[in-house]
Structure 1
Amino acid sequence: MSAPTVAAPLPPDRSDSAVAEASRTVYGRVVDPEAALPGGRFPAEIRAELDGCQDTEGDLDRLRRRAASWSAGEALRFRELLGPLDAETRAVLVRRTALACAPLALMSGAWLQWLSAPGNGDDPAVLRILALYASDLGVGNPRASRGDAYLPVLRHLGVSENAVPAGRLAADQRIDDGHFRLPALLLAMSRRPDDFTPEILGADLCLRSVGLLPALTLVRAEEPTVTHWDVVDPATPRGEAPGGVELALAAVEDLVARDGEDARARSVTGFRWALTALKEWTGRLHTELVAACDPVFEMAELMRRRAREGSVYHHAFPLEGRPLADWLRESQTDPRPMLAALSRSRLVRPGRPDRSRLVNGLVEENGRMFRVFSPEDLDVVRRWIGSLPGPAVGTPEAGAALSPARPLGLRTWRAEDDGRPPATVREAYHLLLNRTDTPAVRAYAREYVHGWLGRSRHGMDACESSLPARWTTRGLRPWLVDMHDRHNEAFEQGAEQELPSREALVDSTVQLAPLTLIDGAWIQGFTDYEHASSEIGHSLFDTYWDELGNGEARLNHPLIYREVLQEMGVDVPPTASRAFAEWEGFRDASFDLPVYWLSIGRFPQTFMPEVLGLNLAMELSGVGGTYRKARLALKKYGFSTRFVDIHNTVDNVATGHSAWAADAIDTYLSSITASQGAGALDSAWERVRTGYRSLNPPSGFRARQAARRAARSAAKTR
């Protein structure tokens, strides 16, 4: 299945501004947590864009110094804009600057979101990157990301209506297309980490070397207390962590140590591109702000934005001998003639907005234009009228539009080749270990999940180990403690049972390796920026962060499990290698559940309730019982118990992963009730229960039939 087109190739006679809209469109798509950027021409166009920006010479150290110096100079230039201006004009510039910076600032650090994956979660270089990303997110707390710190700025200025979720920004026509260009390309690269990891790290290092965007120093100077500006600044430390530049440099060096000097050269390419793009965008924004000091500029923008819908009306209203509707049609491309005529009309009293019908009688409760203009629009119109008569009115320069931003160059979101689906569950495992995939692999994953969930729903009400039949506002904590007690009782009752033989213990440990070595794969989708810092998702990201060792190899769960395997004399190939999936020591059935984890983890939006249920089942499964029994067996044969010990503690039901998992479900269901009403609660709860059971679904003939029906149904709806 091919993905929908983002921007079709444009005929030569289309304007540059139409091409530039690709930036806005791409941005709206790549902030989607389930966005998948296809191979073929699209990555090639990104590569051409990166390689085409080589204006700045030097190694990373020299580039860092140059970026910091440039940033300091530009910051001064922006702050100097405010000096001679009146309070009203200063407020206009602050508002415009905050909006222009929003596409980048609201997603600060998001380009790192997919650089960790189930196949590389034990790689020290990746763990370093994950530590950098976790710092940006303010891991452990909801709404603590650098982007979340920027949101109060927009709220304080009254321009936040399209800020959440970030994809809504693409619909905000107050933001020029050119302001989406840099973040759109950064986020597009984040969806192809296998192709662009060094370049992403280089661009990230550039942004941290620059620090607070130069234009934002203007906003900070006027609004110093509206937010924690040190958090908005990507260079500053978070808590006890090192500074952003230090962490970013370490990430690049670890990548070079792993991949060689070519990775450094590609990081330099990413840095150069980002600095060139920043300079271009910053210069354009400065030009925009200088123009916006003239009230005619904002009025012209307003008329250009609103002319299309306005031209449907006003056929009977004459303006200098022509219907106003005709003037409005022309204003879609050039509003200056209409503004000049309007300034001479009876609707406007130059210099006297309080006496002008355009912003008084016509827009009042009984006026013909009631609620046509927003309060913000009316401020623009009043400011324009107040500036009349002025030398700019009616002149060729008055209200002239900015020259179009340089086109992004990304023309299509359509894969040239859908590829083929995996032929076996082992091949699926190998292909799904990476974030990057093909439409065919993605379709396979979606159908696999639907089939697995169809099997999990079969006979669910008769299952004793299921979640309660109904969820109540008391939440899941009481149930969680009851389940913990049951695990303990089962362990105590079976304490005298014979432990497995050494051979059986080794075999079970080996067969669990395809599952355990991708610890956290089911919640990989919650590394996505807006999920990872949300009220529902922040604890899932925190869980993922814990599973991979909080950035430290010695605490990394997959690496700890490999140590146990090595003690048992078993040396399996690297997890991400094809040799691992083909290793003869594994049985085929050992890949069934891991492929489900890898598949559902790709769809955090589509299967959110099921992922939440599965997460609770996973975190609770061994606490208080199974881990304790496994510890006895491992200890009996002289193997390390560290893996089960650490899980029995971090997954605890009071303050650990199990508790977080229950709280995430409670938060989700409470939000469903608040937003959709109690009628939606039952359906959502059933999906959570299905996800919970999906860790251990039934395996009988009828259950397998249910799985096939669900998978076929999903295939038909593709």
Structure 2
Amino acid sequence: MTSMTARSLYPLVCDPECTVADTVRAGALRAVLDGSRDPKAAQDGLDLLRKRIRTWADGERDRFAALAGTAPAGTGLHRSAARVLLQCAPLALVSGAWLSGSTGMATADEPTALAALTLYASDVGVGRPYRSRGDAFAALLRALDSAEYADPPARTALDPRILDSSFELPSLLLLFGRMAEEFRPETAGADLCLREAGLLPPLALVRAVHGGEQRADWAALDPGAPRPLEPAGGLAGSAAVVETLAGDGDDEDSRRVLAGCRWAFDRLVAWSQEVYRFAGDIARPEQQAAELIRLRAREGSVYHHAFQLAGRPLATWLAEARQDPYPLMSALAASRLVRPGQPERSALVTGLVGERGAMFRVFSPEDLSVLRQWIASLPARDGTGTGGDADTTVEAGTDTGAPSGAAAGPGAGAGAVRPVPALPAFGGGPDGQPPRDLREAYVLLQRRTQSPALRSWAVSYVHGWLGRARHRIDRSALPLPADWPAEGLRPWLAAQHDRHAEEFAQNREDELPTREQLIDSTVQLAPLTMIDGGWLQGFTDYRLASSQVGYSLFETYWDELGNGLTALNHPLIYRELVEGMGVGLPPTGSAEFARWDGFQDSSFELPVYWLAVGRFPVTFEPEILGLNLAMELSGVGGTYRRARLGLRKHGFSTRFVDIHNTIDNVATGHSAWAADAIDSHLSALPVGGPYRQEAWRRVREGYRSLNPPRSFPAWLADRRARLAARPH
């Protein structure tokens, strides 16, 4: 990036496979956090700053609520509240999303990361689809007929009714979240600020106007409030993250938490003040009409050269109205098109917009209501105005119309009190180098932040791996049927579980591995098992984590990491097992772990695939769904039970396999969720045509990718797939 506005950055950082963070120079972005425009805030410690945030937010909500008593009654008040509601959309639709990168495989067993994951799980409503805080705000938008740009949240950047300044805080905060390793303390501090502030102050106006209608889940809209049935979250959860991160308040992390909190408070105050001014303006009929004319001016000027208004072409008036619509409004008010105080007799909103009028369907019903209210608010003429009773009928075809559905570009709405400057140029950093080998890739891919070179390498690796999985798949013993079953995968899943149980019973008396063999196989699986859930890390993305397909995948990830508890954290439990075998391993995310000479190089092949494919939850969604099913089903009913026999025989803990044999069960566990996610994905595709069959083909390849063939022809297929995937 060289120069970018907050509005243009917003959809990029909302992307589940966000690339914009790849080239960001952390130092340049960090400069955004330096300093505060509020001298008092710059001197506060964290406790005092939190108190000031609470006091300010309470007062600011009272200010907004009071506007409901000063605005004109009727539909104009409801329209004003809806427009104020839209200013909250860029932030509220992604409430908590900046925590999506709080855990990576390198930090999957750290207390701070687990505390942040717990908080995030509460925000997304883990275990249920469409239960995130953002979903609650989208429901309110729909209830107030303002959701045209709400899905996905990135589309709000295209909504011309939203001020540019409404994108500043969420865009940068999401970017900090995408660079979790570099900005973890600052993100935690900013999150604490927003939780301390609670319900966004402008929403107090909306609540005052609509609160009695019970149209919103106000607890979900308040990021500081805990949520029923969810993990510990809200302000208490955010404070817990800061506590585990900042310690006694004397270290560098504490300073950075405070810097993030100050920055977020500074931006929140500035934004709220601007929205308050906007709210005061938009409540007036003339301001609503001015905004509407500004939005329509650009396109309308193309069609208005022949029509004269006060001695000038209307096209000229409209060109000027893009910056200042009031002169045009004054001219209209004095013209034969408008009869002040009498909208029912004004051609601008009657004959011109009728089915034979030159502006038929140019204005929406809501637009016409705005214009009628403005005309009704105009004082009656003193009798000297022109055209009082003149014929104002304009036939269709006259050069006075504008194309239906015209809209100005983003940010053109009235009420933009100040121009929003472009963000600093924080791109152009070094591209980096691709990994030298699988061990280096293993270390790098555990981090959330990546370079373009690493991203390109990861895509190539995934394509090659899938090329092997695809090789002669129809001639393999793949248990998945050739076509997706019409009844879904649950019956198939039950049959596979029965097969696993039968195989276990038949092989129960087979010789178990020796102690040395068991220890070696357990150790060689450590690079894989220490990143349990790594293939699902992309589904921690905010939108995917609460989607119909992705919510169960996020819940699976949440389970693999122990639901925020170190005692249940699968990587830690496996580490304890290895240590019980007398083997001490370095931290999983360290280079020392990857370079440990007790591992074979081949032990990193599958883990690197997991980490690589997990970065692309949209590009490789069907393949990940298939891989997830294969992984969750692989040990249930048979393999885990046999592994338990071997561990017990040699006196080792069986806790790891015991947990997996229960939580991966085919009735209510991960295997069942995996099957349901595939069924949900396939059910949404057309029955006829190639789309569903193509998706199922990819699911099958993903299923086989857990254990692809290793023959020489399969490796040639790997190479061909990589070459075919190269950009041309």
| TM-score bucket of the superposed structures, by smaller chain | over 0.9
- Among candidates 266, 269, 272, match of residue 256 of structure 2: 266
The residue that corresponds to 1:711 in the other structure is 722
The residue that corresponds to 2:438 in the other structure is 425
- Among candidates 95, 120, 137, match of residue 82 of structure 2: 95
> Following TM superposition, by how much is the alpha carbon of 1:370 offset from its aligned partner in structure 2, in angstroms?
2.1
**Residue-pair matches, total:** 691
Deviations for 1:632-665, whole angstroms, at most 9, x for unmatched residues? Answer: 1111100000000000000000000000000001
> Following TM superposition, by how much is the alpha carbon of 1:385 offset from its aligned partner in structure 2, in angstroms?
1.8
1:298 matched to 2:284? The reply is no
Alignment of 1:126-165 (within 5 A): 126-165=113-152
1:695 matched to 2:706? The reply is yes
Q: 1:510 to 1:179 in 2, by over 3 A?
A: same
The residue that corresponds to 1:15 in the other structure is none
Counterpart Cα distance in 2 of 1:53 and 1:697: 55
The residue that corresponds to 1:51 in the other structure is 34
1:582 matched to 2:595? The reply is yes
1:593 matched to 2:606? The reply is yes
**Code of the aligned partner of 1:81:** L
User: What is the percentage of aligned positions where both structures have the same residue?
Assistant: 55
1:685 matched to 2:683? The reply is no
Counterpart Cα distance in 1 of 2:27 and 2:518: 49
Counterpart Cα distance in 1 of 2:363 and 2:637: 62
Deviations for 1:431-469, whole angstroms, at most 9, x for unmatched residues? Answer: 101000100001101111111111111111112124111
Alignment of 1:294-443 (within 5 A): 294-389=284-379, 401-407=415-421, 409-411=423-425, 414-443=427-456
Q: 1:680 to 1:390 in 2, by over 3 A?
A: farther
The residue that corresponds to 1:28 in the other structure is 11
- Among candidates 463, 486, 489, match of residue 476 of structure 1: 489
> Following TM superposition, by how much is the alpha carbon of 1:239 offset from its aligned partner in structure 2, in angstroms?
2.4
Q: 1:35 to 1:41 in 2, by over 3 A?
A: closer
> Following TM superposition, by how much is the alpha carbon of 1:40 offset from its aligned partner in structure 2, in angstroms?
6.2
The residue that corresponds to 2:585 in the other structure is 572
- Among candidates 514, 518, 523, match of residue 501 of structure 1: 514
SS in 2 for 1:672: coil
Counterpart Cα distance in 2 of 1:129 and 1:320: 63
Counterpart Cα distance in 2 of 1:41 and 1:446: 20
Q: Is the 8 A contact 2:529 2:571 kept in 1?
A: yes
Moved more, 547-556 or 501-510: 501-510
> Following TM superposition, by how much is the alpha carbon of 1:319 offset from its aligned partner in structure 2, in angstroms?
1.7
Q: Is the 8 A contact 1:317 1:324 kept in 2?
A: yes
The residue that corresponds to 1:60 in the other structure is 46
Counterpart Cα distance in 1 of 2:350 and 2:521: 79
The residue that corresponds to 2:631 in the other structure is 618
Counterpart Cα distance in 1 of 2:461 and 2:301: 51
> Following TM superposition, by how much is the alpha carbon of 1:383 offset from its aligned partner in structure 2, in angstroms?
2.1
Moved more, 353-362 or 649-658: 353-362
1:71 matched to 2:57? The reply is yes
> Following TM superposition, by how much is the alpha carbon of 1:409 offset from its aligned partner in structure 2, in angstroms?
2.2
1:644 matched to 2:627? The reply is no
Counterpart Cα distance in 2 of 1:334 and 1:357: 23
Q: Is the 8 A contact 2:104 2:446 kept in 1?
A: yes
> Following TM superposition, by how much is the alpha carbon of 1:42 offset from its aligned partner in structure 2, in angstroms?
4.5
Unaligned 5+ segments in structure 1 are 10-18
Counterpart Cα distance in 1 of 2:164 and 2:543: 22
Counterpart Cα distance in 2 of 1:415 and 1:192: 16
**Code of the aligned partner of 2:501:** N
Counterpart Cα distance in 1 of 2:537 and 2:423: 30
The residue that corresponds to 2:539 in the other structure is 526
Counterpart Cα distance in 2 of 1:39 and 1:497: 51
Unaligned 5+ segments in structure 2 are 386-412
Q: 1:380 to 1:519 in 2, by over 3 A?
A: same
> Following TM superposition, by how much is the alpha carbon of 1:226 offset from its aligned partner in structure 2, in angstroms?
0.3
Counterpart Cα distance in 2 of 1:494 and 1:684: 36
Q: Is the 8 A contact 1:38 1:439 kept in 2?
A: no
Counterpart Cα distance in 2 of 1:364 and 1:661: 55
Q: 1:635 to 1:401 in 2, by over 3 A?
A: closer
**Code of the aligned partner of 2:347:** R
Counterpart Cα distance in 2 of 1:150 and 1:515: 39
**Code of the aligned partner of 1:672:** L
Alignment of 1:115-194 (within 5 A): 115-194=102-181
The residue that corresponds to 1:231 in the other structure is 220
User: What is the RMSD computed on CA atoms of the aligned residues?
Assistant: 1.9
Moved more, 83-92 or 550-559: 83-92
Q: 1:695 to 1:91 in 2, by over 3 A?
A: same
Deviations for 1:244-275, whole angstroms, at most 9, x for unmatched residues? Answer: 11111111111124997211111011111111
> Following TM superposition, by how much is the alpha carbon of 1:87 offset from its aligned partner in structure 2, in angstroms?
2.3
The residue that corresponds to 2:97 in the other structure is 110
**Code of the aligned partner of 2:219:** D
Deviations for 1:50-72, whole angstroms, at most 9, x for unmatched residues? Answer: 11326303222111111111111
Counterpart Cα distance in 2 of 1:361 and 1:627: 77
> Following TM superposition, by how much is the alpha carbon of 1:78 offset from its aligned partner in structure 2, in angstroms?
0.7
Deviations for 1:95-120, whole angstroms, at most 9, x for unmatched residues? Answer: 11110011111111111010100111
Q: 1:122 to 1:367 in 2, by over 3 A?
A: same
Q: Is the 8 A contact 1:150 1:232 kept in 2?
A: yes
> Following TM superposition, by how much is the alpha carbon of 1:344 offset from its aligned partner in structure 2, in angstroms?
1.9
Q: 1:89 to 1:117 in 2, by over 3 A?
A: same
Deviations for 1:573-602, whole angstroms, at most 9, x for unmatched residues? Answer: 100111111110111111111111001110
SS in 1 for 2:684: helix
SS in 1 for 2:161: coil
> Following TM superposition, by how much is the alpha carbon of 1:318 offset from its aligned partner in structure 2, in angstroms?
1.9
Deviations for 1:538-564, whole angstroms, at most 9, x for unmatched residues? Answer: 000000000000000000000000011
Q: Is the 8 A contact 1:491 1:625 kept in 2?
A: yes
Q: Is the 8 A contact 1:37 1:191 kept in 2?
A: no
Counterpart Cα distance in 2 of 1:103 and 1:541: 23
Moved more, 107-116 or 329-338: 329-338
Q: 1:408 to 1:454 in 2, by over 3 A?
A: same
**Code of the aligned partner of 1:532:** A
> Following TM superposition, by how much is the alpha carbon of 1:321 offset from its aligned partner in structure 2, in angstroms?
2.4
Counterpart Cα distance in 1 of 2:348 and 2:144: 25
**Code of the aligned partner of 1:583:** W
TM-score under structure 1 length normalisation = 0.93
Counterpart Cα distance in 1 of 2:602 and 2:244: 36
> Following TM superposition, by how much is the alpha carbon of 1:162 offset from its aligned partner in structure 2, in angstroms?
0.7
Moved more, 238-247 or 269-278: 238-247
**Code of the aligned partner of 1:146:** R
- Among candidates 182, 192, 201, match of residue 195 of structure 1: 182
Q: Is the 8 A contact 2:120 2:233 kept in 1?
A: no
Counterpart Cα distance in 2 of 1:505 and 1:653: 27
Q: Is the 8 A contact 1:352 1:385 kept in 2?
A: yes
The residue that corresponds to 1:558 in the other structure is 571
> Following TM superposition, by how much is the alpha carbon of 1:406 offset from its aligned partner in structure 2, in angstroms?
4.2
Deviations for 1:72-129, whole angstroms, at most 9, x for unmatched residues? Answer: 1111111111113312332122111110011111111111010100111011111111
Counterpart Cα distance in 2 of 1:420 and 1:146: 39
Counterpart Cα distance in 2 of 1:335 and 1:54: 33
